[in-house]
A = this chain, B = another copy of it.
């Protein structure tokens, strides 16, 4: 059994081996750039760790693991255009460093590259893996569309928000684990339990992200703190704040959401203060814990020695208590 650290080193080495020094440079340099920014590499790590539960040899899972990471980074390129995000992982986003057209086209070729890597999966399970990957990829686009749609709507329920982040974030973690399990030779029940583990970790992970966006530390987080507040993003925090606020708080919150003229720091401070008064941080943390415990329950169902599952359990824990 490999540790998480050993696994991420394999991932990191394999990502470095991908060749982007090809022509036309305008197409491939942004890809090398975005992949060099790092990130936690959780998705490919999950694929290899799931495979490793069933097989000491994880070589066959490397290509699909990389495919999933390249796909994830593709979605970041396109999402950052749509969200007009200037910073990702502490560095200028591709559409800022180059331009929108570059981010569109380099993203497109990343999506194809992802499929090329996935297509290197063993022939006997190729179709099963491709079908799972494609369904997941479609769901991620659907999640992004819901996210875009929510920006235009006055009210979004907490359930709708959870469904959106399930599609936009959680399904790729589930998919990463399940693909690793299939490559490793897991049975259907185990593959599905690992998928559910990924879904619930993903949901908890995104709620943690919402919390970090308001309560995180900018240097660690790699993005601007308060970005969600400035863009009126209907996060789990804001949705509950809008539900709970009455009278003066309701009026103040609505004012901050509708005014076009404000100083960034003032709006962030004021909205955070309303969040604190209403206790929505706690509500978000509780929901995060809820999904975390569901995830662990799914992991418990996976029919392999409890020691082998220790690394996945540790990873889940770290994701909950991270500050970046």
By a beta-carbon cutoff of 8 Å, the part of chain A in contact with chain B is: 23-24, 26-27, 78, 81-82, 100-101, 104-105, 107-109, 111-113, 115-116, 119, 123, 126-127, 130-131, 134, 137-138, 141-142, 144-146, 148-149
Contacts and interface: CB of A to CB of B under 8 A. Distances in A.
Contacts of A138: 109, 112-113, 116
A20 to B, nearest CB: 12
Contacts of A123: 127
B126 A141 contact: no
Contacts of A113: 138
A75 to B, nearest CB: 8
Given A134-B115, A134-B116, A142 B81 contact: no
A-B pairs, top 7 by smallest CB distance, nearest first, are: A27-B145, A109-B141, A24-B145, A82-B101, A112-B137, A116-B134, A119-B130
Contacts of A142: 23-24, 27, 109
Nearest to A152: B26
B26 A145 contact: yes
A23 B145 CA distance: 10
Contacts of A27: 141-142, 145
